[in-house]
Amino acid sequence: MIASGGSRRHDAPPPAGSGPQSASGQDAPSASGQDTPSAGRRAGGTGRPAASTEPDRAHSGAAADGTARTDGTGGTDGTGGTDGTGGTDGTGGTDGTGGTDVAGYAWMVVTSATAVRVVAERVARLPSDLRVAAVGEPTARAARAAGWVVDLVPSESSGAALAHALPDTSGTVLFPRSDLAAPTVVDTLRARGIDVDDVVAYRTVGTGDEPVVLDSPPAAVLVTSGSVAREIARRMTPLDPRTVVACIGPGTAAEARAAGLPVHVVARTRSAEALLDAVVESLNPTAPNRKAPK
């Protein structure tokens, strides 16, 4: 579906006090890491206890043919890590944090609120002719909060759906992303003959290797991405048999199982709200017995 856009143009300054929201994984809060801007490399978010994402200070990106770009023009790693879009006009700071130029792109595709935050921190305003596609409503809300007009939100919240829903274009698509993002968006767009600048905007770094020990077993563990699942398996297992493992979507549930975690709850839609609703429902003793997730 086409999302309703804001009333302001991209080149209008955002209202005072507004700011992008952030999330890890696919627009949901992460339990094993924090998202931090990175310019030019692939990156991804994991949860707080296990890993964090931080800026990649080098201006390097992937060209449309997948080759590395190290001439300081990078940052267009695929908008998934939205801070990696800068430096194309040569005005970027030496630390890779400033002078981001997104002019000349037909579309910018964002697949997480973190990517929105990173790009918004680097770009004061978007060009009026740059169209924005967001993977789902949580990401779209973050983009609108940053003062952007959102032109496209697919009916299904997935990278594949977004790549298929994007209109044909002869222009280049900017995709800022996490360093752990799957290649689905880039591969699908290129298979359609669409030129993509695939930029790593933020990356995941570890916060330690020691086991996470809690005073008492948690009632539930929220798994918001595959990287979170792997960190939970690495640092929190064995989990108490009474602990409910709740995943934000089928893809994350599959990665959690692959990491050796049991999966008790899968959110009906891929959003933080749906995940929390599913956990509350599962922990409510008056609710009907939940069915095993598919």
Q: Can you tell me the distance from the alpha carbon of 106 to that of 129, in angstroms, rounded to the nearest whole number?
A: 7
Q: Is the pLDDT of residue 152 over 80?
A: yes
Do residues 133 and 163 make contact, with C-beta atoms less than 8 angstroms apart? no
**Which residue in 200, 53, 8 sits closest to 119, CA to CA?**
200
List pLDDT tens digits, range 200-238: 999 877 778 899 989 999 999 999 988 899 999 999 999
Give the mean pLDDT of the chain.
72
| Confidence band for 293, pLDDT divided at 50, 70 and 90 | low
Q: Are strands 244-247 and 196-206 parallel, antiparallel or unpaired?
A: unpaired
| Confidence band for 270, pLDDT divided at 50, 70 and 90 | confident
Identify the burial level of 210 via C-beta atoms within 10 angstroms of its C-beta, where 0-12 means exposed, 13-18 middle and 19 or more buried: exposed
Q: How many other CB atoms are there within 10 angstroms of residue 290's CB atom?
A: 14
Q: What is the pLDDT of residue 146?
A: 97
Q: What is the pLDDT of residue 208?
A: 84
Between residues 256 and 2, which one has the greater pLDDT? 256
Q: What is the pLDDT of residue 10?
A: 47
Q: Can you tell me the distance from the alpha carbon of 265 to that of 262, in angstroms, rounded to the nearest whole number?
A: 9
Q: Is the pLDDT of residue 80 over 50?
A: no
List pLDDT tens digits, range 97-145: 334 578 999 999 999 999 999 999 999 899 999 999 999 998 999 999 9
**Which residue in this structure is represented by tokens 């964090």?**
52
Q: What is the pLDDT of residue 250?
A: 87
Q: What is the pLDDT of residue 135?
A: 93
Amino acid identity, residue 255? E
| Confidence band for 161, pLDDT divided at 50, 70 and 90 | very high
User: Percent of the chain having pLDDT more than 70?
Assistant: 62
| Confidence band for 199, pLDDT divided at 50, 70 and 90 | very high
Q: What is the pLDDT of residue 285?
A: 62
List pLDDT tens digits, range 9-59: 444 444 333 333 333 334 333 333 444 454 443 333 333 333 334 433 323
Residue 210's SS3 state is coil
Strands (E), the chain: 51-54, 61-62, 68-69, 107-110, 131-134, 173-178, 196-206, 220-223, 244-247, 265-266
Structure tokens that stand for 223 in this block = 């798994």
